[in-house]
Amino acid sequence: MCGRFYFKSNKDKLSHQFSVENAVGTRTNYNVTPSSKCTVVRLNPDNKEFANLTWGLVPSWAKPDNKIKPINAKAETVREKPCFRNAFNKHRCIIPVSGFYEWQGSKGDKRPYAIYPLNDDYFGLAGLWEKREDLQTFTIITTEANEVMRSVHHRMPVILDTKNYDVWLEEGDYALMKPCASEEMGLTGYT
Protein backbone atom coordinates (compact mmCIF):
# COMPACT_ATOMS: atom_id res chain seq x y z
CA MET A 1 0.00 0.00 0.00
CA CYS A 2 1.20 3.49 -0.71
CA GLY A 3 -1.02 6.08 0.96
CA ARG A 4 1.37 8.99 1.57
CA PHE A 5 4.52 10.22 -0.07
CA TYR A 6 6.77 13.25 -0.18
CA PHE A 7 8.08 15.29 -3.07
CA LYS A 8 11.01 17.73 -3.11
CA SER A 9 10.58 19.95 -6.13
CA ASN A 10 13.64 20.60 -8.27
CA LYS A 11 12.82 21.19 -11.94
CA ASP A 12 16.39 20.60 -13.15
CA LYS A 13 16.70 17.25 -11.36
CA LEU A 14 13.20 16.19 -12.49
CA SER A 15 13.92 17.09 -16.12
CA HIS A 16 17.26 15.27 -16.01
CA GLN A 17 16.08 12.02 -14.35
CA PHE A 18 12.86 11.68 -16.35
CA SER A 19 14.15 13.16 -19.65
CA VAL A 20 11.27 15.62 -19.91
CA GLU A 21 11.73 19.16 -21.18
CA ASN A 22 8.50 20.95 -20.37
CA ALA A 23 8.27 22.90 -17.13
CA VAL A 24 5.32 22.29 -14.86
CA GLY A 25 4.31 24.03 -11.67
CA THR A 26 5.69 21.69 -9.00
CA ARG A 27 6.03 22.42 -5.32
CA THR A 28 7.69 20.68 -2.42
CA ASN A 29 5.25 18.79 -0.19
CA TYR A 30 6.33 16.50 2.67
CA ASN A 31 2.83 15.05 3.15
CA VAL A 32 1.22 14.26 -0.20
CA THR A 33 -2.17 12.65 0.47
CA PRO A 34 -4.87 11.10 -1.70
CA SER A 35 -6.89 13.72 -3.63
CA SER A 36 -3.80 15.97 -3.84
CA LYS A 37 -2.62 17.38 -7.17
CA CYS A 38 0.67 15.68 -8.05
CA THR A 39 3.23 15.79 -10.82
CA VAL A 40 3.31 12.75 -13.13
CA VAL A 41 5.19 11.90 -16.31
CA ARG A 42 3.06 10.66 -19.22
CA LEU A 43 3.07 10.40 -22.99
CA ASN A 44 1.26 12.91 -25.13
CA PRO A 45 1.01 12.25 -28.88
CA ASP A 46 4.48 13.69 -29.56
CA ASN A 47 6.64 13.04 -26.49
CA LYS A 48 6.83 12.75 -22.71
CA GLU A 49 5.42 15.53 -20.57
CA PHE A 50 4.92 16.50 -16.95
CA ALA A 51 1.29 16.97 -15.91
CA ASN A 52 -0.42 17.77 -12.61
CA LEU A 53 -3.12 15.18 -11.89
CA THR A 54 -5.29 14.32 -8.88
CA TRP A 55 -4.37 11.22 -6.84
CA GLY A 56 -7.28 8.77 -6.81
CA LEU A 57 -8.24 7.19 -10.15
CA VAL A 58 -11.67 7.94 -11.61
CA PRO A 59 -12.22 5.78 -14.71
CA SER A 60 -13.34 7.57 -17.88
CA TRP A 61 -16.63 5.62 -17.81
CA ALA A 62 -17.46 6.43 -14.17
CA LYS A 63 -20.63 8.36 -13.34
CA PRO A 64 -20.17 11.97 -12.13
CA ASP A 65 -21.19 11.02 -8.56
CA ASN A 66 -18.62 8.19 -8.42
CA LYS A 67 -17.29 7.83 -4.86
CA ILE A 68 -14.74 5.10 -5.60
CA LYS A 69 -11.31 6.61 -6.33
CA PRO A 70 -8.62 3.97 -5.80
CA ILE A 71 -5.25 5.38 -4.83
CA ASN A 72 -3.50 2.03 -5.46
CA ALA A 73 -3.90 -0.78 -8.00
CA LYS A 74 -2.51 -4.27 -7.40
CA ALA A 75 -0.07 -5.34 -10.10
CA GLU A 76 -1.49 -8.85 -9.97
CA THR A 77 -4.96 -7.72 -11.15
CA VAL A 78 -4.35 -4.41 -12.94
CA ARG A 79 -4.80 -5.95 -16.42
CA GLU A 80 -8.16 -7.57 -15.61
CA LYS A 81 -10.06 -5.27 -13.25
CA PRO A 82 -12.47 -3.01 -15.16
CA CYS A 83 -11.42 0.02 -13.12
CA PHE A 84 -7.81 -0.25 -14.34
CA ARG A 85 -7.85 -2.26 -17.58
CA ASN A 86 -8.31 0.65 -20.01
CA ALA A 87 -5.71 2.80 -18.25
CA PHE A 88 -3.21 -0.08 -18.21
CA ASN A 89 -3.63 -0.49 -21.97
CA LYS A 90 -3.62 3.21 -22.92
CA HIS A 91 -2.68 5.58 -20.08
CA ARG A 92 0.41 4.62 -18.13
CA CYS A 93 2.36 7.20 -16.16
CA ILE A 94 5.29 7.56 -13.78
CA ILE A 95 4.93 9.36 -10.46
CA PRO A 96 8.19 11.02 -9.32
CA VAL A 97 8.49 10.89 -5.52
CA SER A 98 11.33 11.75 -3.18
CA GLY A 99 10.14 8.99 -0.87
CA PHE A 100 7.03 7.43 0.65
CA TYR A 101 5.72 6.60 4.11
CA GLU A 102 4.46 3.45 5.76
CA TRP A 103 3.32 2.93 9.34
CA GLN A 104 3.76 -0.08 11.58
CA GLY A 105 2.25 -0.90 14.95
CA SER A 106 -1.10 -1.08 16.64
CA LYS A 107 -3.77 1.61 16.52
CA GLY A 108 -2.75 4.59 18.61
CA ASP A 109 0.88 3.43 18.66
CA LYS A 110 1.89 3.46 15.01
CA ARG A 111 5.47 4.30 14.08
CA PRO A 112 6.11 6.03 10.74
CA TYR A 113 8.85 4.94 8.35
CA ALA A 114 10.23 6.92 5.42
CA ILE A 115 11.43 4.94 2.41
CA TYR A 116 13.64 6.86 -0.02
CA PRO A 117 15.92 6.29 -3.04
CA LEU A 118 19.61 5.71 -2.41
CA ASN A 119 20.91 6.06 -5.98
CA ASP A 120 18.67 8.68 -7.62
CA ASP A 121 16.96 11.92 -6.65
CA TYR A 122 13.50 10.38 -7.13
CA PHE A 123 11.74 7.06 -7.24
CA GLY A 124 9.74 6.66 -10.45
CA LEU A 125 6.55 4.85 -9.37
CA ALA A 126 4.53 2.98 -11.99
CA GLY A 127 1.05 4.42 -12.32
CA LEU A 128 -2.06 4.69 -14.44
CA TRP A 129 -4.01 7.81 -15.34
CA GLU A 130 -7.46 8.55 -16.72
CA LYS A 131 -9.42 11.53 -17.99
CA ARG A 132 -13.16 12.05 -17.47
CA GLU A 133 -14.44 15.38 -18.77
CA ASP A 134 -12.12 17.97 -17.17
CA LEU A 135 -10.93 15.66 -14.36
CA GLN A 136 -7.54 13.92 -14.76
CA THR A 137 -6.60 11.40 -12.08
CA PHE A 138 -4.01 8.69 -11.37
CA THR A 139 -3.32 5.66 -9.21
CA ILE A 140 -0.07 4.01 -8.04
CA ILE A 141 0.56 0.35 -8.87
CA THR A 142 1.68 -1.83 -5.96
CA THR A 143 3.37 -5.22 -5.77
CA GLU A 144 4.67 -7.62 -3.13
CA ALA A 145 7.30 -6.19 -0.78
CA ASN A 146 11.03 -6.66 -1.25
CA GLU A 147 13.32 -7.58 1.67
CA VAL A 148 13.64 -4.00 2.98
CA MET A 149 9.90 -3.34 2.86
CA ARG A 150 8.84 -6.68 4.37
CA SER A 151 9.94 -5.48 7.80
CA VAL A 152 7.36 -2.68 7.56
CA HIS A 153 4.60 -3.76 5.14
CA HIS A 154 3.71 -6.71 2.89
CA ARG A 155 3.26 -4.50 -0.22
CA MET A 156 5.12 -1.64 -1.86
CA PRO A 157 4.80 0.61 -4.91
CA VAL A 158 6.24 -0.65 -8.18
CA ILE A 159 9.48 1.36 -8.43
CA LEU A 160 10.74 1.46 -11.99
CA ASP A 161 14.42 1.34 -12.90
CA THR A 162 15.37 4.54 -14.74
CA LYS A 163 16.35 2.53 -17.82
CA ASN A 164 12.76 1.21 -18.02
CA TYR A 165 10.87 4.51 -17.89
CA ASP A 166 10.28 4.67 -21.65
CA VAL A 167 9.44 0.96 -21.88
CA TRP A 168 6.76 1.41 -19.20
CA LEU A 169 5.24 4.49 -20.82
CA GLU A 170 5.33 3.20 -24.40
CA GLU A 171 4.70 -0.54 -24.03
CA GLY A 172 3.41 -1.18 -20.51
CA ASP A 173 5.65 -4.23 -20.16
CA TYR A 174 3.99 -6.28 -17.43
CA ALA A 175 7.35 -7.87 -16.51
CA LEU A 176 8.26 -4.54 -14.87
CA MET A 177 5.54 -5.02 -12.23
CA LYS A 178 7.85 -6.42 -9.56
CA PRO A 179 9.64 -5.22 -6.41
CA CYS A 180 12.76 -3.15 -6.99
CA ALA A 181 16.13 -4.29 -5.67
CA SER A 182 16.50 -3.73 -1.92
CA GLU A 183 19.84 -1.98 -2.52
CA GLU A 184 17.96 0.88 -4.20
CA MET A 185 16.08 1.84 -1.02
CA GLY A 186 16.82 3.47 2.30
CA LEU A 187 14.52 3.10 5.33
CA THR A 188 14.32 5.37 8.35
CA GLY A 189 11.99 4.87 11.30
CA TYR A 190 10.72 7.72 13.48
CA THR A 191 9.55 7.68 17.09
| pLDDT tens per residue, range 58-71 | 988 888 777 889 99
CATH of the domain at 111: 3.90.1680.10
Which residues participate in catalysis according to the annotation? 2, 102
How many structural domains are present in the chain?
1
pLDDT in tens, 167-179: 999 999 999 999 9
State the alpha helices, DSSP H only, in 27-164: 82-90, 147-150
pLDDT tens digit sequence for 106-116: 788 888 899 99
Global confidence as pTM: 0.95
Return the SS3 of 26.
coil
pLDDT value, residue 61: 86
pLDDT of residue 23: 66
61 vs 142: CA distance, rounded Å: 23
pLDDT at residue 1 greater than cutoff 60: no
The DSSP annotation for 148-191 comes to: HHHTT-SEEE-EE-GGGHHHHHHH--GGG-SPPPGGGEEEEE--
User: Which domain, by its residues, includes 92?
Assistant: 5-189
For position 21, what pLDDT does the model report? 83
Query: Which tens digits make up the pLDDT trace of 143-161?
Result: 999 999 998 999 999 999 9
